[in-house]
Chains A and B, each alone.
Chain A
Amino acid sequence: DAKTTQPTSMDCAEGRAANLPCNHSTISGNEYVYWYRQIHSQGPQYIIHGLKNNETNEMASLIITEDRKSSTLILPHATLRDTAVYYCIVTLGGTSYGKLTFGQGTILTVHP
């Protein structure tokens, strides 16, 4: 699977948009970008995923660059409950499907 690079930590003011970047310059054409988050002492939670097109759901938006070498997770109106570690994961599927590789992620702290 392609390796991902994320900033170690980020801060965001409550009510503002949180934009979390992820670099995956070695991604191949059939690999998906997945985002999970882990709130302190809880299990990871699926947020969103995409292949080429931008995606939006009730939790967040995912913007993938045209060359697919990077992506940004957007939480449009961050709240204190969004404070968590956010993981960007590139998955291959096929014979590797389901075997997620969690890196260190980005610690997002939302301030009042």
Chain B
Amino acid sequence: DAEITQSPRHKITETGRQVTLACHQTWNHNNMFWYRQDLGHGLRLIHYSYGVHDTNKGEVSDGYSVSRSNTEDLPLTLESAASSQTSVYFCASSPLGGRTDTQYFGPGTRLTVL
């Protein structure tokens, strides 16, 4: 069955280190999204992509970057991790066209920055 996976599921890192969170989907969806979820803030959009080589900044993009070299993957990189980036990160994908807002979410990655 088609699915969307995230790895690692849990990550502990130190301030200043570079961290990359992986997201992989097998639906062949054009659109992919990264969100973070914190208590009191709900889900907030970090970056999104509408296709290969396309990337866009979301609501809270500072300190994060993404690249889209193929349809299946959208890795999220924290260039220099900060304690404020401790959060749960969710990746999502959606098909092109009329159901673009029907997003399918991964299981999440819990990131702790010490």
Contacts and interface: CB of A to CB of B under 8 A. Distances in A.
Interface residues of B, number: 22
A91 interface: yes
A47 to B, nearest CB: 10
Contacts of A34: 101-102
Interface of A: 32, 34, 36, 41-46, 49, 89, 91, 93, 97-105
Contacts, number: 53
A53 to B, nearest CB: 15
Nearest to B50: A98
23 contacts: A32-B101, A34-B101, A42-B108, A43-B90, A43-B106, A43-B107, A44-B92, A44-B103, A46-B102, A46-B103, A49-B101, A91-B101, A93-B100, A93-B101, A98-B33, A98-B50, A98-B103, A99-B58, A100-B43, A101-B45, A102-B42, A103-B42, A104-B42
Contact of B43 (A44, A93, A97): A44
A100 B101 contact: yes
Given A45-B105, A97-B101, 18 more contacts: A34-B102, A41-B108, A42-B107, A43-B90, A43-B92, A43-B106, A44-B90, A46-B104, A49-B101, A89-B101, A93-B100, A98-B31, A98-B33, A98-B94, A98-B100, A99-B48, A102-B35, A102-B44
